[in-house]
Amino acid sequence: MASHQGPPDLASILATLAGLAPQGQQQQNQPIIYSQQSSHFEQPQQAWTPIIQEAPHIPRSTTPTEPPPQKPGVDPSTIIEWSAGLRCVMKSVARNENITNDIRRMMKVQREHEEQWWNGREMLIEKQKARKEGQKKLDDVLKAVGGAVTGFASNHSDDHYKELQTFDMKVYKAQLMMVKEMTAKLRSLGVPFFGTRSELVRLAGKEENASNGTPEQKIGNGMIGEVELIDLQRRMLVILEDLCSD
């Protein structure tokens, strides 16, 4: 009988598969549903896992792997040579707007004080002239009426001179105070020659005992004379005025 059977037609194959479908579908659906559920639960773990692993690397990459800080520059308080001081001030002042503004304010205050002192001295001189003229007129009136002229007029010149000297001394003391404050400010800003270490400065009285030589030779000994230091300060002030002029 097998030899008389032909190949199964399509309808018979579909009927056979239809009979097997419930069992096969039940067996296949369970792992499929499980795999879908497991994929939904596993995806958040995969999404959060890189964050948990990468977070500790942020501080590690910034702290240990940072390049070592650059070698600090020369301490301005140890500079006693002009070329080194000039290089230092060009790097610090010329490139720092805050320092430049501070020096501008100092220069402005200095000009205001100098103008105030000058105007005050001129006003005092004018008062003395007016006082002298008034006394002269009074003496002329007394002479005209035959009155006695007091000897106070002859002492006016000496009194005016002493009065002017007193004023100049007050201005001088105020200048010293201003210079002291400006020197302290320039030292805090790191300007060379205004905060030089005392052990590097040879006092004026001791310079006479030192060997005679050029300023560079004296600097070569590791010290600088007080006179030379003052000269370097004046030269540095000229540079600062050029750098910070409005």
Same domain, 146 and 198: no
Q: Which amino acid is at 127?
A: K
In a domain, 24, yes or no: no
Same domain, 117 and 229: no
Residue corresponding to tokens 């290089």 = 87
Residue of 101, 123, 100, 104 whose CA lies nearest to 112: 104
Same domain, 127 and 161: yes
The sign of the torsion formed by the CA atoms of 227, 230, 236, 238 equals negative
pLDDT of res. 217: 44
pLDDT of res. 183: 94
Q: Which amino acid is at 210?
A: A
* CA separation for the pair 58, 72 (Å, rounded): 28
pLDDT of res. 59: 52
In a domain, 138, yes or no: yes
C-alpha 226, offset from chain centre: 28
pLDDT of res. 10: 61
Structure tokens, 230:
């003052």
Same domain, 230 and 205: yes
In a domain, 65, yes or no: no
> Would you give the DSSP letter of residue 69?
P
Same domain, 157 and 207: no
pTM higher than 0.85 = no
Residue of 178, 160, 181, 230 whose CA lies nearest to 202: 230
Same domain, 167 and 203: no
Residue of 182, 179, 135, 181 whose CA lies nearest to 157: 135
Q: Which amino acid is at 231?
A: D
Same domain, 148 and 198: no
Same domain, 210 and 153: no
pLDDT of res. 164: 95
pLDDT of res. 92: 83
Residue 208 backbone dihedrals phi, psi, to 5 degrees: -65, -30
Residue 55, SS3 per DSSP: coil
In terms of residue numbers, what domain contains 149? 105-172
Q: How many structural domains is the chain composed of?
A: 2
Same domain, 114 and 220: no
pLDDT of res. 178: 95
Task: List per-block mean pLDDT (blocks of 10 residues) for the chain, which spans 246 residues.
Answer: 54 62 48 41 44 48 51 82 94 87 93 96 92 78 71 70 95 96 94 93 69 50 89 95 84
